[in-house]
Structure 1
Amino acid sequence: MVRLKETGRVQLIDHDRLVNDTDSVLSELSGFLKLKTPFTAEYKTTRFTGVRGKGDRSVYLQAGTILKDIQHRDELVLDDLRIETLRRQYESIMDEFG
């Protein structure tokens, strides 16, 4: 979610849509933020990318581009209470901003 402080406007960014319709989502976000240079699917990594304690260590971020076909994703196991809490939070966000 992106919120513009001066206007209070909000734009929700859905992960699946970002991955599957990258160019459109980045174009919409660039317009929303009124950027002179729009976002692209490619990005620069830094010397801290992948360094424990200094940057995100995800191999996906180290690619320098938004990856569409990730063969293996780390499995996340959540208990029922956490799932219900996340579901309620998601529904609340979608009710307010969706």
Structure 2
Amino acid sequence: MIDAFFIRKYGGPNVLKRGRVSAHDLGPHDVHLQVHAASVDWRSRDGALKVLLPYRFARVLGNDALGVVGVVMEVSPAVRRFKPRDAVYTRVRDHRLGTFALETVTHE
């Protein structure tokens, strides 16, 4: 479980909640990050992008073009480009939202 900000429905700032959510599983080419900073696009929260990126709820936000900054905590065995304690900046793929949390997982 990780501490995160999430939504259970589309809407304004009042739909944003903080709580514990299930962590992503680490896939064969994934990197587990400790999040230091992340941007969140309000259009995702209010549903303006639901035609392009429909969400299942509860959904941890965070996949804006500005991305996420953090430190690598763990890598899958197939990952060769990164190692624990590397400082990184990335943008997670559309189907792997969730940078508005203390930790996130993304493809290398």
Same fold judged by TM-score > 0.5?
no
Instruction: Give TM-score scaled by structure 2 length.
Output: 0.20
Looking at secondary structure, tell me which structure has more strand per residue: 2
Instruction: Give TM-score scaled by structure 1 length.
Output: 0.21
- The structure number with the bigger radius of gyration is 1
Structure having greater relative contact order (Cα 8 Å, sep ≥ 6): 2
Looking at secondary structure, tell me which structure has more helix per residue: 1
